[in-house]
Amino acid sequence: MAEEGSAVEALVEELTGQARIERADLVEWLLARGFDVEQIRGALVPVLLAANRMIGDDGTHISADQICAATAFDEELLHRLHRAVGLPASGTADTPPSRADAESVLRARAFIDLGFDADEVVGIIRVLVEGLGRAAEAMRKAALKAVLRPGATEVQLAQSFEHLASSLTPVLGPMIADLLYLQLRRSFETEAVTLAERATGSLPGAREMTVAFADLVGFTELGGVVAPEHLERTANRLAELARDAVVPPVRFVKTIGDAVMFVSSDAAAMLHVVLDLMSLAAGQDLPQLRAGIASGWAVSHAGDWYGSPVNLASRITGVARPGMVVATDSVRHTLAARDELEWSSLGGHAFKGVSGPVPVASVRRRGQSC
């Protein structure tokens, strides 16, 4: 007991008042849960130690060299994968990463064994981590709302987080897998292998695609008069509506602040999705939308798209007035035979990074007001 008492004193010596009392109680609880003094001292957030143990972190550490020696994992690939998930380069940190963090990338070797290119594997891991990072942040906020109570002590918070982690662990992995499989099925269904691709046995570097952006008018100015939480809800609502509007082969690519991005191999399908989104947003308590659409050669990499139609669609969006959809002449000519659409020329516009004026036109469904 004397040893435990001195351990507690050593871990709270820099605190005073209520903070010292609560930390001492937390340390005693953690010691009783099997954590040692060094684990508690080294924890960035001691309140989360028990919860982190429930989601894989046993409190031990391991270096990249130790992993390679034990598993014969390629050292260069391991370092690249660690950088892709945000771990410090080997030898740059004061202490090695936690074993859970360091070993989180080891399953990636299965992709290499199946013949995947190493650069592609690193790209896959990077995209997964970026997407899961956003999901983890959303879950963090939801979890805090679920466990925070007025006047809660550190021990009570630690107990609540541990219980929450224990309850979620059995369902979290399967849920993530199910959602990833859903996206894989959709991706393969909308990216059918063409005859030319089968004949050559390779994918094209670029393909003819239609790209669209839609953004909230006045969103930046809105930030000066409403709380950040309101801005977040507004941007999230736009993302929800964008996903509601999507119909294959149109794909929702991403949100960029106050804007959403779509891509499609079918210009007509793209235009109707954008027009549907405009109609959906008009019935919501949101700032008005405006949208820009362009077609051209684009290339996909790690879940994102690059090329002239991406840049042009983004810039064209700035030409549109509130409630308006604007498209390039190439999109207009592709869809000119469709009687359900009405077009109005807006003349040529100069855009940064584009040589010469670009003719654009607004478009709406026939009989629909702007």
pLDDT per residue over 33-89, tens digit each? 999 888 888 888 899 999 999 999 988 889 999 999 999 999 999 999 999 999 886
Instruction: Inform me whether the pLDDT recorded for 90 exceeds 70.
Output: no
Interval 146-190: pLDDT, tens: 888 889 999 999 999 999 999 998 999 999 999 999 888 877 765
Residue 160, pLDDT score? 93
Which amino acid appears at position 307 of this protein?
Answer: G
Residue 236 banded pLDDT, cuts 50, 70, 90: confident
* 299 contacts 307 by C-beta, under 8 angstroms: yes
Residue 141, pLDDT score? 85
Instruction: Inform me whether the pLDDT recorded for 248 exceeds 90.
Output: no
Q: What percent of the chain has pLDDT over 90?
A: 51
- How far is the C-alpha of 211 from the C-alpha of 251, rounded, in Å? 10
Which residues in 277-293 are b (16+ Cβ under 10 Å) and which e?
Answer: bbebbeeeebbebbbbb
Q: What are phi and psi of 266, to 5 degrees?
A: -120, 110
* 98 contacts 57 by C-beta, under 8 angstroms: yes
Q: How far is CA 112 from CA 85, 91, 127, 253, 286, in A?
A: 17, 25, 17, 26, 46
Instruction: Inform me whether the pLDDT recorded for 275 exceeds 60.
Output: yes
Residue 134, pLDDT score? 83
Sign of CA dihedral 188, 191, 194, 197: negative
User: Which among 271, 275, 279 is positioned nearest to 295, based on CA atoms?
Assistant: 271
Sign of CA dihedral 168, 171, 173, 179: negative
User: Which among 333, 360, 331 is positioned nearest to 344, based on CA atoms?
Assistant: 360
Interval 190-222: pLDDT, tens: 565 555 666 666 666 678 899 999 999 887 666
Torsion from C-alpha of 159, 161, 163, 166, nearest 10 degrees:
-140
* 251 contacts 225 by C-beta, under 8 angstroms: no
**Alpha-helical runs (H) found in the chain:** 2-12, 17-32, 37-42, 49-54, 64-71, 75-84, 99-102, 109-113, 118-147, 154-190, 195-200, 219-222, 228-245, 267-282, 308-317, 329-334
CB neighbours of residue 161 within 10 Å: 22
* 53 contacts 74 by C-beta, under 8 angstroms: no
Residue 135, pLDDT score? 87
Which amino acid appears at position 182 of this protein?
Answer: L
User: Which among 186, 313, 327 is positioned nearest to 251, based on CA atoms?
Assistant: 186
Interval 329-365: pLDDT, tens: 999 999 988 889 999 999 999 888 788 899 999 999 9
Instruction: Inform me whether the pLDDT recorded for 92 exceeds 70.
Output: no
- How far is the C-alpha of 78 from the C-alpha of 90, rounded, in Å? 10
Residue 299 banded pLDDT, cuts 50, 70, 90: confident
Computed over every residue of the chain, the mean pLDDT equals 87
- Comparing 89 with 312, the larger pLDDT belongs to 312
The answer to pTM > 0.85 is no
Work out the average pLDDT over 106-125. 93
Which residues in 347-369 are b (16+ Cβ under 10 Å) and which e?
Answer: eebebeeeeeebebbbbbbeeee
Map out the domains of the chain with their CATH numbers. 2-42 (no CATH), 64-190 (no CATH), 206-365 (3.30.70.1230)
* DSSP reduced 3-state for 216: strand
- How far is the C-alpha of 76 from the C-alpha of 306, rounded, in Å? 28
* 125 contacts 87 by C-beta, under 8 angstroms: no
Instruction: Inform me whether the pLDDT recorded for 144 exceeds 90.
Output: no
Work out the average pLDDT over 14-25. 92
